[in-house]
């Protein structure tokens, strides 16, 4: 019944994009029809195992997707490869309720089930056993800068929807994403991949990936090395500076993994991830033109990220002990155009306020004042920063198939961030930041975050069909921020400020309850109530009221019913979940009265009601059909009463950037054209409904993000033994603009957006040995 309801919502939600959506669905149907008409026997290996048969470890023990009593999507490494996935934005289209605000490499904000806000992430991101942290910046908004490493040579991706607070801790209040790397094997193997593409309005782009696996000591020690490089030409043109393709980027890095098995029951995995990214802002200005920028500066983004991990697992008969230590080091540099904000001070009223305390300026005073303001522009707000993060976890869990299964553990984190928010002059002729830096304002922030936690979760089979689960987590955190303004700026009233310290700390418990009933191997229902939270923090903002210095943790409860089913000898899997999320004490972003600084405070509450549907089918051998859809009704349930947050939301307002309806569909088919050769085709379509950038309809800065559809096609030839393959692909078939984020302030020409990459055509070559 829910499936028909969601289908009905889709037919009404596509709006003006319905023609494109209909064309795309027709394309998928034709692909399916063409596949069904083939008389040549299809290859079973074209698609690999269905996603519902993938073994996952989301509950810290092995189970298949269908046997796991929670809303989870698993994507195998083979399916990622077949879809040409390179980053989280690509695979988000395959997952119900997963949304990505894509502002470029290393600048992506993830949300699940409509849980999206500034501050600490609302979705936990893990690379193997390592939770990764975004750099906080001077506005404490770590969620918008989630690290994004290469997805080449991946075993699988697991996306857990709904709060995962008991097992995964803070910042998993919307859910968790786990990227599981392929591990070293005790045999020789290797792979290489090259991609060349060209983008509308841009130039040629290149991707190169390589992997080699080497056994060092037979059945004891093995190593696996992955290296890669990505070069993108960009597609945004800067009309103000007369420069094309200003959002080009390069990224290069590697992954080294070592597996040591000294005994049959002890496995030690060590890994090192290194990536260096050089990019520029993906933002453009619709008031200037489609994919055109009006920035008066080239806005660089540089990111050097490293993650080191050691994980040891000891299988001791009835129990298994896992010890994990991880270290993340991230050095970044990015910039935002401050020129138009500075130019907005070029008014007689501003002169009067700055020079004469409100009295009118004489012509001589105006001339002097204007000359001073002009001397500061063009300029950028320049943010160099550094993040260091140590995490440790010790986990003990039961093994075997007894009626009682359990997991207990302890976790600690020690994270530090140093960042400067500084204004730097720009060369007006080139738009480049003048180096050495010519600074006229600087504010420094030293942010330290420490937390410890203990958790436990147990499941008991009351009967062979009924299992009850309960879990809890105790947490304690402390956040300390030291801020200093050592280079004042009189124009905006930023005076010199010696180092000052503010702190925020909190302790508490969160809980989870789950019951699942297995009617048959092909039919299970579950009910769950689970809690999630994010830590609070402290603001270091000039002129902010003392009462707003610290902000508290926000928490939510998720109430969920779900069913997992299989039909036609497990050729069709249909999973559905309905839920309500009650979110209280929300962390929201505000700005100071002069619009110069942003900060975080607690205000209001929200409720999200929604439904999710996943269908995975193998109608004939060699064919895979997938459908996912999500409906969300996300609204405030309390006014965001605040004298400092500009245009706070009111009860009943829709939450920003949360479309009511999203859906995706994929058809993939492979068949033999000769005993040694296979043909593979794939087509997919993703629909995203309309959303808004602000809460209140009467907010002058509120921008509507129109609905859009993104469609992709791939066709290729594969050698039957998998030794080589060649593909041609077309991404964003309809060249949809597909805006995913918009921002606007009170200054002119500041309305900016980020959007999907334009139509791209390319060739992909792969080989294995």
> pLDDT tens digits for 31-86?
333 333 333 333 333 333 445 678 999 998 889 999 999 999 999 999 999 999 99
Closest CA to 712 of 10, 15, 24: 24
Number of C-beta neighbours around residue 402 at 10 A: 10
Contact 496, 486 (CB under 8 A): yes
**Residue 548 pLDDT level (bands cut at 50, 70, 90):** low
Contact 543, 644 (CB under 8 A): no
pLDDT at 30: 37
Contact 694, 657 (CB under 8 A): no
Supply 298's token pair. Answer: 């080239």
Domain boundaries, the chain: 2-338+377-768
Give pLDDT tens digits for 270-310: 999 999 999 999 999 998 999 999 999 999 999 999 999 99
pLDDT at 273: 97
Half-sphere exposure in the Cβ direction for 332 (13 Å, CA): 32
**Residue 379 pLDDT level (bands cut at 50, 70, 90):** very high
* DSSP calls for 642-689: -SSSSS---TTPBPTT--SEEEEEEEEEEEEEETTEEEEEEEEEEEE-
pLDDT at 102: 85
Closest CA to 172 of 427, 411, 364: 411
Span 16-28, mean pLDDT?
Answer: 40
Least trusted range by pLDDT, from 87-101, 296-310, 551-565, 642-656: 642-656
Closest CA to 611 of 48, 13, 67, 113: 113
The pLDDT > 70 percentage for the chain reads 88
Residue 674 has pLDDT above 60, yes or no: yes
Quick one: DSSP state of residue 749?
A: T
Supply 84's token pair. Answer: 């040409």
Number of C-beta neighbours around residue 294 at 10 A: 23
Span 476-495, mean pLDDT?
Answer: 90
Supply 559's token pair. Answer: 């109430």
As a CATH number, domain 2-338+377-768 is 2.40.170.20
Backbone angles phi, psi at 15, to 5 degrees: 55, -135
Least trusted range by pLDDT, from 48-62, 649-663, 686-700: 48-62
Residue 136 has pLDDT above 80, yes or no: no
Residue 23 has pLDDT above 80, yes or no: no
């Amino acid at each position: 019944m829910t499936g028909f309801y969601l289908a009905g919502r889709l037919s009404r939600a596509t709006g003006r994009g319905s023609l494109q959506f209909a064309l795309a669905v027709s394309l998928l149907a034709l692909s399916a029809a063409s596949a069904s008409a083939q008389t040549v026997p299809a290859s079973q290996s074209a698609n690999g195992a269905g996603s519902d048969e993938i073994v996952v470890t989301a509950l810290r023990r092995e189970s298949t997707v269908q046997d796991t009593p929670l809303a989870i999507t698993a994507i195998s490494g083979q399916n990622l490869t077949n879809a040409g996935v390179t980053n989280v934005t690509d695979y988000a289209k395959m997952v119900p309720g997963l949304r990505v605000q894509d502002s470029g490499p290393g600048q992506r904000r993830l949300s699940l089930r409509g849980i999206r806000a500034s501050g600490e992430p609302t979705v936990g991101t893990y690379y193997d056993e390592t939770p990764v942290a975004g750099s906080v910046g001077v506005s404490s908004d770590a969620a918008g800068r989630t690290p994004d490493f290469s997805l080449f040579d991946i075993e699988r991706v697991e996306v857990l929807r709904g709060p995962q607070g008991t097992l995964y801790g803070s910042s998993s209040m919307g859910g968790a994403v786990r990227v599981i790397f392929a591990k070293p094997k005790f045999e020789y193997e290797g792979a290489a991949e090259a991609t060349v593409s060209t983008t509308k309005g841009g130039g040629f782009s290149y991707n190169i990936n390589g992997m080699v696996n080497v056994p060092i000591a037979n059945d004891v020690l093995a190593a696996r090395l992955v290296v890669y490089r990505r070069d993108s030409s960009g597609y945004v043109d800067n009309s103000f500076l007369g420069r094309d393709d200003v959002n080009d980027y390069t990224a290069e890095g590697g992954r080294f993994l070592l597996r040591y098995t000294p005994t049959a029951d002890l496995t030690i995995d060590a890994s090192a991830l290194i990536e260096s990214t050089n990019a520029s802002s993906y933002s453009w200005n619709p008031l200037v033109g489609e994919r055109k920028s009006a920035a008066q500066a080239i806005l660089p983004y540089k990111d050097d990220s490293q993650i080191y991990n050691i994980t040891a697992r000891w299988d001791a008969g009835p129990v298994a002990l896992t010890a994990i230590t991880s270290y993340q080091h991230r050095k970044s540099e990015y910039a935002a155009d401050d020129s138009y904000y500075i130019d907005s001070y070029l008014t007689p009223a501003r002169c009067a306020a700055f020079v004469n305390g409100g009295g009118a300026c004489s012509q001589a005073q105006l001339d002097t004042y204007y000359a001073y303001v002009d001397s500061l522009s063009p300029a950028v707000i320049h943010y160099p920063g550094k993040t260091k993060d140590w995490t440790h976890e010790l986990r003990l869990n039961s093994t075997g198939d007894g009626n009682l299964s359990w997991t207990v553990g302890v976790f600690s984190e020690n994270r530090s961030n140093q960042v400067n928010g500084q204004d730097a002059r720009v060369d007006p002729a080139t738009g480049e930041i003048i180096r050495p830096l010519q600074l006229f304002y600087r504010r420094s922030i030293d942010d330290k975050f420490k937390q410890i936690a203990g958790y436990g979760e147990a499941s008991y089979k009351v009967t062979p069909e009924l299992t009850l689960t309960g879990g809890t987590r105790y947490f304690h955190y402390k956040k300390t921020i030291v801020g200093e303004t050592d280079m004042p700026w009189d124009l905006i009233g930023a005076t010199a400020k010696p180092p000052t310290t503010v702190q925020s700390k909190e302790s508490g418990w969160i809980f989870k309850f789950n019951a699942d009933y297995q009617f048959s191997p092909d039919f299970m229902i579950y009910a769950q109530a689970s809690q999630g939270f994010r830590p609070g923090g402290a603001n270091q903002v000039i002129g902010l009221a003392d009462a707003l210095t610290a902000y508290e943790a926000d928490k939510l409860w998720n109430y969920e019913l779900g069913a997992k089913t299989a039909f036609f000898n497990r050729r069709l899997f249909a999973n559905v979940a309905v839920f309500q999320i009650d979110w209280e004490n929300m962390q929201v972003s505000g700005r100071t009265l002069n619009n110069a600084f942003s900060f975080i405070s607690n205000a209001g509450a929200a409720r999200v009601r929604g439904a999710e549907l996943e269908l995975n089918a193998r109608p004939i051998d060699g064919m895979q059909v997938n459908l996912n859809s999500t409906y969300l009704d996300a609204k405030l349930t309390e006014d965001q009463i605040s004298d400092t947050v500009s245009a706070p939301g009111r009860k009943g307002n829709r939450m920003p950037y949360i479309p009511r309806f999203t859906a995706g569909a994929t058809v993939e088919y492979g068949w033999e054209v000769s005993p040694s050769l296979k043909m593979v085709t794939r087509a997919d379509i993703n629909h995203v409904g309309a959303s808004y950038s602000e809460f209140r309809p009467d907010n002058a800065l509120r921008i509507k993000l129109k609905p859009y559809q993104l469609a992709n096609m791939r066709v290729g030839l594969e050698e039957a033994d998998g030794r080589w393959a060649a593909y041609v692909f077309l991404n964003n078939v309809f060249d949809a603009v597909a805006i995913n984020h918009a921002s606007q302030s009170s200054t002119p020409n500041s309305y900016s957006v980020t959007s999907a990459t334009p139509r791209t055509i390319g060739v992909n070559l792969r080989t294995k040995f």
